[in-house]
């Protein structure tokens, strides 16, 4: 594991609302659509097993009510299943309406954990306090082997953590599995 804490002074004294100052959004980048669902369900199941789901969404909170209502409107079955727990997925295979829903819920701090593919880092401004990059290798069908992500892709993902105007510091966790055979 690689851990990096980024500290920056806020550019504005109104960088975060006082009502949400104790809410830290987390974003996990994975490298396939299937891994978004697999990782999200693993996180939810671990939190459930440790009786820690209420750390993501308080039972008596307005977020709980909003997430349950929005889960009923989601088109994707996995998203319907995950949203009430405060966890969401985001990838190009989701319907545009579902992607927009997830982006809005994450921006409004109802969703606390967002698992997405790296494409989200390029096209959508969704800052988070904590960013996890789950490995830096992707399978290249053209090359028939695992290849490293480009430095630009990694920088884009890293750039979601601790964004000025949204947070005074950020946290980056990077995981790298043992080297794969080429």
Q: How far apart are CA 23 and CA 111, in angstroms?
A: 10
Distance CA 177, CA 124 (A): 27
43 pLDDT higher than 90: yes
Query: What dihedral do alpha carbons 127, 60, 102, 24 form, nearest 10°?
Result: 10
pLDDT at 9: 42
pLDDT on residue 49: 93
Please check whether residue 105 is in contact with residue 59, taking contact to mean a CB–CB distance below 8 angstroms.
no
Tens-place pLDDT, residues 82-107: 999 999 999 999 999 999 999 999 99
Per the CB < 8 A criterion, the answer to whether 103 and 90 are in contact is: yes
Mean pLDDT of 153-182: 76
Q: How far is CA 144 from the centre of its chain?
A: 29
Q: What is the mean pLDDT of the chain?
A: 82
Let me know: does 99 contact 26? Beta carbons within 8 Å: no
Contacts of 41 (CB under 8 A, 6+ apart): 78, 81, 82
Burial of 24 (0-12, 13-18, 19+ CB in 10 A): middle
Cβ proximity of 29 and 176 under 8 Å:
no
Q: Which pLDDT belongs to residue 22?
A: 52
């Amino acid at each position: 594991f690689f851990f990096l804490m980024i500290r920056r002074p806020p550019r504005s004294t109104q960088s975060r609302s006082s009502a949400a100052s104790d809410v830290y959004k987390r974003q996990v980048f994975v490298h396939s659509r299937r891994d978004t669902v697999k990782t999200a369900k693993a996180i939810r199941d671990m939190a459930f097993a440790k009786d820690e789901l209420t750390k993501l969404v308080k039972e008596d909170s307005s977020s709980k009510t909003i997430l349950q209502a929005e889960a009923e409107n989601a088109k994707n079955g996995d998203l319907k299943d995950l949203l009430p727990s405060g966890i969401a997925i985001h990838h190009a295979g989701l319907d545009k309406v579902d992607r927009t829903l997830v982006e809005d819920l994450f921006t409004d701090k109802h969703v606390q954990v967002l698992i997405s593919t790296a494409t989200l880092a390029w096209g959508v401004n969704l800052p988070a306090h904590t960013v996890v990059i789950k490995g830096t290798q992707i399978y290249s069908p053209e090359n028939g082997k695992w290849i490293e992500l480009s430095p630009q892709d990694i920088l884009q993902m890293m750039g979601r953590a601790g964004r000025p105007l949204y947070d005074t510091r950020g946290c980056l966790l990077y995981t790298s599995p043992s080297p794969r055979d080429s």
